[in-house]
Chain A
């Protein structure tokens, strides 16, 4: 076995804190396979009832946007205030809409 393969792969851990809420990223850990990653995530990230469900995904499977593209990706939304309900003025007598 080469030394490069000696280290257990890295996994990202997502925990659902209670039924009805989304899974949220809470950290990462090394594990030999998915089943072990789940076991370890339980021990590491839910020692005080922080979760009711866990997802693990190998870190290398995640594709992330490049921080250098931040402007290009997200700035165009900044001047589109018509996407927000507050952009529109509605007569008061209409009430809640």
Chain B
């Protein structure tokens, strides 16, 4: 499961615009604010400010899209998994991602958007998904690294979302987080096995780590100073921990894991800072990040085309299932009459 810890506008351009929120109903707004301040939860039928609703629809649907698109790079490796065991594990993981997408679409639907609307947004290229999936998975080691680092970064992001102020989103995230730790552990374990192998296999793991490390750091979203909407997200209890704070936690957690694994992380500036009691790390290439978010990454077109094709190829199945259900119902009505 994968979310970018930021909320990119779905409109082309992808620059963050501040959320303006005219007060629609002062009394209800006050009741809403009071509930948020008391760390209460908002449920679908409750009144909520329009901007809160729109922000959630965008964030939850982007999150759902990320799950669904995230199935593609890993799905590509199912037929090439090195053993039956690894194949069974990978199938289970990809199936989980599909399930996570579904939990999230359902959560977004409680806000008044339809599944079809969300899918249309994804398929037309208007809606965003996590930029991490717009990079290719070149070797089997990439599959392990995705589990260890990409899912690891996602878990960092998602654990605080279990306390999100919107009930259905928080409940979906609880379910997701329970399943997610298998994803990270299976990836790390697959890499451990490779690191016990030949020099070639070890080099393969190191190469995959080198290619994914910086992209994983970017997954947490722009630095806090460049995330104007984070403040509003925090105010609403949608976001609980800032991008930079989550990124730091991820770096601090990952360095010792890399050591055990026997790989280096490709950052000459990465070193322990005794004063801060954290690891310092180098500059992230945000220009590349925004290029990818805005559709110009190495696999954006390929991923979207694959997704659209799968959806179109499945249209007759969805139509047939509906037609069958209608016929069955008509038959029952006739029998009853």
Contact = CB atoms under 8 A, between A and B. Distances in A.
A77 interface: no
Interface in B183-213: none
Interface in B270-288: none
Secondary structure class of chain A's binding surface, majority of residues: mixed
B172 A64 contact: no
A73 interface: no
Contact of A27 (B92, B172, B318, B321): B172
B102 A10 contact: no
B324 A64 contact: no
Interface in A36-82: 36, 43-44, 47-48, 64, 66-67
B306 interface: no
A22 interface: no
Nearest to B106: A28
B16 to A, nearest CB: 31
B114 interface: yes
6 contacts: A3-B116, A8-B322, A10-B109, A30-B115, A43-B99, A67-B43
Interface of B: 43, 45-47, 92, 95-96, 99, 102-103, 106, 109, 114-116, 171-172, 175, 179, 318-319, 321-322, 324-325, 328-329
Given A32-B318, A32-B325, A67-B45, 14 more contacts: A7-B116, A8-B318, A8-B322, A26-B175, A27-B103, A27-B171, A27-B172, A28-B109, A29-B106, A32-B321, A44-B99, A44-B102, A44-B103, A67-B46
Lowest 4 A-B CB distances belong to which pairs?
A: A33-B325, A32-B321, A32-B325, A28-B106
Interface of A: 1, 3, 5-8, 10, 26-30, 32-33, 36, 43-44, 47-48, 64, 66-67
